[in-house]
Chains A and B, each alone.
Chain A
Amino acid sequence: MNASRSCRSWVAPHIAALPRSGIRDFFELVNAMDDVVSLGIGEPDFVTPWHIREAAIYALDKGVTHYTSNLGDIRLRKAICRYVKERFGGDYDPKGECIVTVGVSEGLDILLRAVLSPGDEVLYPSPSYVSYGPTIQMCHAEPVPVETRAEHDFVVQVSDLEAKTTPKTRVLLLNYPNNPTGATLTAADKAALADFAIRHDLLVVSDEIYEELSYVDRSPSIASLPGMKERTVLLNGFSKAFAMTGFRIAYACSTNDIIEAMMKVHQYSIMCASSMVQAAALEALQNGAAGRDEMLEEYRQRRNVIVKRLNDMGLNCFMPNGAFYVFPCIRSTGLDSMTFAKRLLQEQHVAVVPGTAFGACGEGFVRCSYASSIADIETAMDRIETFIASLRKG
């Protein structure tokens, strides 16, 4: 046995090539501190409404501890299809056009594995949620981030998509309302994107996990536009709307063809989403509207507070119409995103996420989550104000 052999790596090259999450090091820094006020948390601060938790407990009491159908309990799928039709638009058959997944993360993973071949290219607006690029790479496909800009309130422009489209482009992956920018699409934006997808014969993957956190009148999902159902996969879930992140439960709706293909991957890797969690999800859809709307109103008010304070102190950001993020520009401070975030953490003990964690074009911005109490938001804003004043003096 020679030495080089004993230290060979067993890790597949395409996994070894994946970047470490951009905020891993930053996370370690934050974790080492005690009195941090964090605006870096991308999940609701609300604990799951009690009636939903109670439904999970009751399911356990009743012995709901077995596998369900691979696609998910049919009662839940029926409720999902009703809910989708009523809230987002789009007609899906619960029997074969809907699958229950373990979070949208799993939905996206099994979908991409079901539709991508090595070398296929996937367009997605950047900055984006951190998993998009790596999930595409794990399918031996090519992530093609398409820059979005503050001047368009971070809505992806068809001309920018056109510029990055090649004969290998196969999927357009959208995430509106957007993490990390809070951007949303108007009906006209959706129509233009649908037209683009049809012209280039692309599959559209619409990750709408933040759709219920919309602060203006919503337009129907891109999946429901004419000619789009057959080329769109709608991904949504319970984490954000019903404060159920730890439950890990979501769904995908599309044509029978695609759902069947997703089901194959899902069945061989996961089997099914956890059964008592599916019971909780059903309860959320049946009786969760009031709790959901109450949380939405609270987010809306926090958004008003944080956007005004950031703009007042010269960190410009637009009024986001969805999700629970603001994405202020920090260029006026003369610092880059990572330095800004690190110094803010070290000097004022406030955590925000550098925009670069979400893609290179996030440089010059930081993500602030307002899924935190108003008291924490106010404290964080006071400290950021102090930090900025100290920069201007120094």
Chain B
Amino acid sequence: MERNELKTKILALLERNARISTKEIAERLACEEALIAALIDELEKSHVIMGYSAIVSDLANSSEVLAIIEVEVQPERDTGFDKIAERLGKFPEVRSVYLVSGRYDLRLEVVGSSLQEIASFVAAKLSCQNGVKSTATYFMLKKYKEAGITLNGGGEENERLKIVP
């Protein structure tokens, strides 16, 4: 298999399960473990893989509050949306920043330990940034699906007979 094709397959496996072992990847793709390790190393060094994280359900008992904030901004000459997007991303409360098409410009995911904490972040930090024209904040109430995983299994049974000819 070609290196780029292998990399695509490795990424697909890691995106589904970041804890998969290099041994299992090697067995699945029928190649040497050392080659897989080297390719993952390349992917990490070239920042294609930026990190590994767990997908945690509401059962984790965390008191974390999550909000989606739509931000309308004034783009700048030469840099467009990039500079302000990067600046907003510097706040540790901001977990993700996307430039989106549609009614507003930037979509932020913000975490805090309480509603008040996020409210004060919006009022005191976000809204008053140069170039921010307006914001709309949506607090997340319950999580059903994340990263392609339905959190309670979607209530599906998927039962099979134990032997089928």
Which positions in A face B, CB cutoff 8 Å?
Answer: 21, 23, 26-27, 30-31, 36, 38, 40-43, 45, 47, 129-131, 179, 297, 301-302, 304-305, 308-309, 351, 353, 357-358, 374
Q: Known: A47-B156, A47-B158, A374-B24. Is A304-B163 also a contact (CB below 8 A)?
A: no
Minimum C-beta distance from B18 to chain A (A): 15
Minimum C-beta distance from A277 to chain B (A): 19
B165: chain A residues at CB < 8 Å are 21, 23, 42, 129-131, 179, 353, 357-358
By the criterion CB–CB under 8 Å, are B162 and A30 in contact? yes
B117: chain A residues at CB < 8 Å are none
Minimum C-beta distance from A143 to chain B (A): 16
Least CB separation from A31: chain B residue:
B162
Instruction: Report the bound CA distance from A305 to B29 in whole Å.
Output: 8
Least CB separation from A21: chain B residue:
B165
A374: chain B residues at CB < 8 Å are 24, 28
By the criterion CB–CB under 8 Å, are B27 and A353 in contact? no
By the criterion CB–CB under 8 Å, are B164 and A41 in contact? yes
Instruction: Report the bound CA distance from A89 to B24 in whole Å.
Output: 37
Instruction: Report the bound CA distance from A374 to B20 in whole Å.
Output: 11
With A27-B163, A301-B29 known, 10 other A-B pairs at CB within 8 A are A27-B162, A40-B163, A41-B163, A45-B160, A131-B165, A302-B28, A304-B27, A304-B28, A308-B27, A374-B28
By the criterion CB–CB under 8 Å, are A304 and B29 in contact? yes
B28: chain A residues at CB < 8 Å are 301-302, 304-305, 374
Which positions in B face A, CB cutoff 8 Å?
Answer: 9, 24, 27-30, 156, 158, 160-165
Minimum C-beta distance from B31 to chain A (A): 9
Instruction: Report the bound CA distance from A297 to B8 in whole Å.
Output: 12
B162: chain A residues at CB < 8 Å are 27, 30-31, 36, 38, 40-41, 351
B24: chain A residues at CB < 8 Å are 305, 374
Q: Known: A304-B28, A308-B30. Is A26-B163 also a contact (CB below 8 A)?
A: yes
Least CB separation from A30: chain B residue:
B162
Instruction: Report the bound CA distance from A23 to B163 in whole Å.
Output: 8
Instruction: Report the bound CA distance from A179 to B165 in whole Å.
Output: 9
Least CB separation from B158: chain A residue:
A47
Least CB separation from B27: chain A residue:
A305
Instruction: Report the bound CA distance from A351 to B161 in whole Å.
Output: 12
Instruction: Report the bound CA distance from A277 to B128 in whole Å.
Output: 57
> Could you jot down 13 A-B contacts, CB within 8 Å?
A36-B162, A38-B162, A40-B164, A41-B163, A42-B165, A43-B164, A297-B9, A301-B29, A302-B28, A305-B24, A305-B27, A308-B30, A309-B27
Of A43, A305, A308, A353, the residue contacting B160 (CB under 8 A) is A43
B158: chain A residues at CB < 8 Å are 45, 47
A357: chain B residues at CB < 8 Å are 165
Q: Known: A47-B156, A304-B30. Is A30-B163 also a contact (CB below 8 A)?
A: yes
